[in-house]
Amino acid sequence: MSRCALFVFGLVLLLGAANVEAICRSEVIARAKTWVAAHVPYSQTNTYQGYRTDCSGYVSMTWEEAKPGYTTSEFLPDGVAHSITKADLLPGDIMLAPGHHVCLFGGWSNSSQVSYVSYEECSHTGCQGTVTRIIPYPYTDYPGATFAPARYKNIQNC
């Protein structure tokens, strides 16, 4: 093994690695529901179970990513998630506005696919703490922010 490979391996052992194993969509939703049930309050500085208690920390927790969690600006550039289309959305995917907000897509709330079940950690009018609610597609509570669907790199349909 080269010195470089040994160095990288040592850093991974020392610092810990983010989850590289696949996670089932049903497990992502089950994890999301635990924070909703616990009524975890929103904070960009506090943590719960090692994860930051803001929107991106919450999504990171549902995906079992590294603690304290990614920021909304890191999901796509860091390769944690990739863009998808509205037609591709499945439970466990996200609606993302980098630099603004992210929520976990829980599934369509109606057959016309104009609104969906959202799991999110938030602190704005009508949304305090970890909640589940029905949101018009793509997202209406952040004027000027552009929300688009994205998918976690390690999610599976199981």
> Average pLDDT, stretch 87-101?
97
Residue 17, pLDDT > 70, answer no
Q: Is the predicted pLDDT of residue 14 greater than 90, yes or no? A: no
Q: Where are the beta strands (DSSP E) in the chain?
A: 23-24, 47-48, 51-52, 81-83, 94-97, 101-108, 115-124, 127-136, 148-152, 155-156
Task: At 152, list the tokens.
Answer: 């976690």
- Looking at the predicted structure, is the pLDDT value of residue 82 above 60? yes
Structure confidence by residue, pLDDT tens digits, 106-136: 999 999 999 999 999 999 877 899 999 999 9
Rounded to two decimals, the pTM is: 0.86
Residues 18-51: pLDDT tens digits? Answer: 456 899 999 999 999 999 999 999 999 999 999 9
